[in-house]
Amino acid sequence: MTTKRQSLKLLAGAALAPLATGAAAQAFPSKPIRLVIPFTPGGGTDFVSRTVGNKLAESLGWQVVLENKPGAAGNIAIEQTSKAAPDGYTIVMGQSDNMMLGPWLYPNVGYDSVKSFAPIVQVSVAPMVIAAAAGSKITGPAELIAAGKVGNGITWATAGNGSLGHLFGEQLRQSTGMKLTQVHYKGAAPAITDVIGGQVDVTILSSGSVLPQIKGGKLRAVAVTTGRRSPVLPDTQTIEEAGLKGVDVSIWLGLFAPAGTPPDVIAKLNAEVNKVLQAPDVREKLAAQGIAPAGGTSEQFAAFVREDYARWGKVVKESGVKAE
């Protein structure tokens, strides 16, 4: 009799478990969500993160705390998020730099881009833009390469050691024979400041980071890294137009939670962010900075992360670049 009662209790517990998980997801969020931004305020990642985070708060009444945590091309924020409680209350805006390059470039980065996270949703895609001060003699990709072959060459500002801009600069140097000195910053804003001030020749950042300064007449767009010209910079040539074939590099952003976060919580976050990305005002804000909203299921994003991670691993190994 006792055995039978115990069996019934076990069966009842097993039957109620999915209901408890579903109820937890329905109650989510019951406290503030911390959205970690791996770069300084004022850059493209910060812009997209705040656009999405503020819209979630506005449309749903959620409390979304936006926290900038720059350093090591975003790797510090990514590592700390990977070790947070897997409950959906700490998420991070990862991107090509830290999620795809960090573990390949840094020997002890502290996380695995595939195993340490539960991908939520891809948020956006944007071209990288090479920009110079408005009065610079570097006006296009041909002039950029030519300047790199004279004297000491050019100085090249990036958003961080081990960033996508860092790797692209090394590839450009190797493929053209130009002299290119890397100058790494903790995010886009300080890099832009030094280029405008003439301390550094050019910078390579996302379109969202540099477009306001280009529109404001303080920076000049020199080239875009995508295979086609950007709709928001139609007069700016691609690197390919300077004779370097096969150059087509974009920077993507996406939200990640620590591995082990309940699937129902991931699904709820995915659904709500997808709604945000379809909102006309959000799409207008992103488009104005040359940023395309992405979206899709968490499964699609997870598959993309696995494929892109393997692809960039091959690129890093072939380039021989190592972050110091």
Report the C-alpha gap between 170 and 181 in whole angstroms. Answer: 9
Query: Residue 163 falls within a domain, yes or no?
Result: yes
Domain co-membership, 14 together with 116 = yes
Neighbour-count burial for 21-43, b at 16+ CB within 10 Å, e otherwise: eeeebeebbeeebbbbbbbbbbb
With respect to residue 106, please indicate whether it lies within any of the assigned structural domains.
yes
Query: What is the per-residue pLDDT for 10?
Result: 42
Among 52, 111, 47, which Cα is nearest to 82's?
A: 111
| 121 shares its domain with 145 | no
Task: Based on the fold, state whether residues 26 and 65 are members of the same structural domain.
Answer: yes
Q: What is the mean pLDDT of residues 273-288?
A: 96
Q: Categorize the per-residue pLDDT at 123 as very low, low, confident or very high, splitting at 50, 70 and 90.
A: very high
Concatenated DSSP letters of 193-235: HHHHTTSSSEEEEEHHHHHHHHHTTSEEEEEESSSS--TTSTT
Owner of token pair 């595939």: 114
CA dihedral 184, 188, 189, 193 (to 10 degrees): 60
More confident residue, 162 or 54: 54
pLDDT of residue 26: 64
Q: Which domain holds residue 84?
A: 8-125+252-319
Q: For residue 80, what is the domain's CATH number?
A: 3.40.190.150
Choose one of 242, 275, 296: the last residue of a domain.
242
In a domain, 108, yes or no: yes
Query: What are the CA-CA distances from residue 295 to residues 123, 124, 253, 276, 278 (Å)?
Result: 6, 8, 10, 9, 9
Summarised one tens digit per residue, pLDDT across range 57-109 is 999 999 999 999 998 888 999 999 999 999 999 999 999 988 999 899 888 88
Q: What is the pTM of this model?
A: 0.83
Integer angstrom CA distances of residue 120 from 94, 221, 229, 271, 289: 11, 33, 30, 9, 23
Tell me what the pLDDT averaged over the chain comes to.
90
Indicate whether 224 and 77 sit together in one domain. no
pLDDT given for residue 129 in this prediction: 97
Whether residue 134 lies inside any domain: the answer is yes
Instruction: Give the model's pLDDT for residue 161.
Output: 86
Confidence at residue 25, expressed as pLDDT on a 0 to 100 scale: 55
Residues 185-226 have pLDDT tens digits of 988 999 999 999 999 999 999 999 999 999 999 999 999 999
Identity of the residue numbered 127: P
pLDDT of residue 319: 80
In a shared domain, residues 141 and 188: yes
pLDDT digit string, tens, across residues 1-52: 444 444 444 444 545 445 444 555 568 999 999 999 999 898 899 999 999 9
Q: What is the CATH number of the domain that holds 136?
A: 3.40.190.10
Is the domain of 121 the same as that of 159? Answer: no
pLDDT score recorded for residue 3: 45
Flag whether 17 is in a domain: yes
Residue ending a domain, among 207, 242, 277, is 242
Give the pLDDT confidence score for residue 124 in this predicted structure: 96
Domain-embedded: residue 1: no
Last residue of a domain, one of 242, 276, 294: 242
Helix (H, G, I), strand (E, B) or coil at 34: strand
CA distance 251 to 203: 15
CA terminus-to-terminus distance, the chain: 68
263 and 194: one domain?
no
Listed range (55-59, 239-243, 281-285) with the worst mean pLDDT: 239-243
What's the half-sphere exposure (Cβ side, CA atoms, 13 Å) at 131?
32
Q: Can you give the pLDDT at residue 73?
A: 80
Tell me, yes or no, whether 141 and 112 share the same domain: no
If you search the block for the tokens 């700490």, which residue do you land on? 90
Do 76 and 14 reside in the same domain of the chain? Answer: yes
In a domain, 247, yes or no: no
The total number of structural domains in the chain stands at 2
| 102 backbone φψ class: left, alpha, beta (φ>0; ψ -120 to 50) | alpha
- Residue 167 in domain: yes
pLDDT of residue 186: 87
